[in-house]
Chains A and B, each alone.
Chain A
Amino acid sequence: MERGVHDRGGPPTDAPIDRSEHTLDDWEVLTDALAGALARRGLMSVDELRRGIESMPRGEYVRASYYERWLFSMETILTEKGVLVAGELDRRAAG
Chain B
Amino acid sequence: MTYRVGEPVTVVARAHGEHHRTPSYIKGKTGRIERVHAAFRNPETRAYGDDGLPEMPLYLVSFARSDLWPDARAGGGHRVCVDVFEHWLEGAK
B71 neighbours in A (Cβ, 8 Å)? 12
Question: In whole angstroms, how far apart are the Cα atoms of A48 and B49 in the complex?
Answer: 7
Tell whether A31 is near chain B: CB-to-CB under 8 Å: no
Q: How far is the CB of B9 from chain A (nearest CB, A)?
A: 19
Tell whether A58 is near chain B: CB-to-CB under 8 Å: no
Hey, what's the 0/1 contact readout for A1-29 against B, CB within 8 Å counting as 1?
11100010110100000000000000000
Majority DSSP secondary structure for residues of A touching B? loop
Contact status B47-A1, CB under 8 Å: no
Q: Say yes or no: A47-B25 contact (C-beta < 8 A), given A10-B68, A10-B69, A12-B71.
A: no
Contact-residue size bin, chain A (C-beta under 8 Å from the other chain):
10 to 19
Q: Say yes or no: A1-B13 contact (C-beta < 8 A), given A10-B68, A47-B43.
A: yes
Closest to A10 in B: B25
B49 neighbours in A (Cβ, 8 Å)? 45, 48, 81
Majority DSSP secondary structure for residues of B touching A? loop
Contact status B23-A7, CB under 8 Å: yes
Question: In whole angstroms, how far apart are the Cα atoms of A50 and B21 in the complex?
Answer: 10
Tell whether A54 is near chain B: CB-to-CB under 8 Å: yes
Question: In whole angstroms, how far apart are the Cα atoms of A75 and B34 in the complex?
Answer: 39
Question: In whole angstroms, how far apart are the Cα atoms of A1 and B13 in the complex?
Answer: 9
Contact status A50-B68, CB under 8 Å: no
Contact status A51-B48, CB under 8 Å: yes
Return the 9 tightest CB-CB contacts between A and B, nearest first: A10-B25, A51-B47, A47-B47, A47-B46, A51-B19, A47-B43, A9-B23, A3-B24, A7-B24
Q: Apart from A10-B69, A45-B52, list 9 A-B contacts with CB within 8 A.
A: A7-B24, A10-B68, A45-B46, A45-B47, A47-B52, A48-B48, A50-B19, A50-B43, A51-B18
